[in-house]
Amino acid sequence: MRGAQSVPLRLMVGREHGAPTFSMRLFEVEPGGNTLLHQHNYEHELMVLEGEAQIAGGVSGSTIRSLRPGDAAFVPANETHQIRNVSDGILRFVCIVPTHFDCGKNECDITPGS
Amino acid sequence: MRGAQSVPLRLMVGREHGAPTFSMRLFEVEPGGNTLLHQHNYEHELMVLEGEAQIAGGVSGSTIRSLRPGDAAFVPANETHQIRNVSDGILRFVCIVPTHFDCGKNECDITPGS
């Protein structure tokens, strides 16, 4: 299974456009592809635009949610999650993140990819 | 032209779901419909899912941006804006707002519809 590094991210609206609070990114995942199973201390809000996704999440990563176009999901901060393309075609989804998060250290307060 | 009160809002992810920073709402606008030309001191990030939209914006509301499915737009805080359905079918778009904003008064720091 492919990792996050193979999932292209397109910044639709972000800090470079003047966004002060949150950033909208577009992801495209090839059939059979997925993001890494990972966690971080800021939240995601997702909406699937095309294809069919599963989000493996929860404290242990064992909860599965299925999403079709128009379905949205909230991934709270610190929850382990992985987005998988379970359709035969491309999976396209938007993923919104805060531009900043509180990690307790000044040097890591800007969200990556925001 | 119809005003904002005729444009249904569906909260996809918001404060009631635990969203701490921003909320995702889905709007559906009938052919010929539009939101009110208005402004507020928090930003919008939009993506069109279906149909064709125009955003009248800018300081005077005279700048027009055209959006098709997959197109995103940033409406900065305090900018006058109106979203118009300029297609023959339904216009569906997601609009993300911060859950809180600084209006200088404690009693209005929660964003309406978040």
Number of helical (H) and strand (E) elements in chain A, helices listed first:
0, 8
Helix (H) or strand (E) holding B53: strand B53-57
User: Model confidence at B2, in pLDDT bands (50, 70, 90)?
Assistant: very low
Look at residue B14 and tell me whether its pLDDT is greater than 90.
yes
A79, two tokens: 């929850």
Q: pLDDT tens digit string along B47-101?
A: 999 999 999 987 666 889 999 999 999 999 999 999 999 999 999 999 999 999 8
Q: Sort out which chain A residues have CB atoms less than 8 A from B94's CB and list them.
A: 47, 94
The residues, any chain, with a CB within 8 Å of residue A32's CB and separated by 6 or more, are: A1, A2, A85
User: Are A19 and B96 in contact (CB < 8 Å)?
Assistant: no
DSSP class of A111: P
ipTM of this complex prediction, to 2 decimal places: 0.89
pLDDT given at position B61: 66
Measured between CA atoms, the residue of chain A closest to residue B101 is A21
Q: Which three-class secondary structure state does DSSP give residue B15?
A: helix
Predicted local confidence at residue A2, as pLDDT: 42
Lowest mean pLDDT among A97-106, B8-17, B48-57, B82-91: A97-106
**Cβ <8 Å between A13 and B74:** yes
A 10 A CB-CB count for B30 gives 15
The string of pLDDT tens digits covering residues A4-21 is 445 778 999 999 999 999
Residue A4: exposed, middle, or buried by beta-carbon count in 10 A (0-12, 13-18, 19+)? middle
Percent of chain A with pLDDT over 90: 71
Tell me the Ramachandran region of residue A70: left when phi exceeds 0, alpha when psi lies from -120 to 50, beta otherwise: left
Q: How far apart are CA B4 and CA A48, in angstroms?
A: 26
pLDDT at B45 over 70: yes
Minimal-distance CA residue of chain A relative to B71 = A12
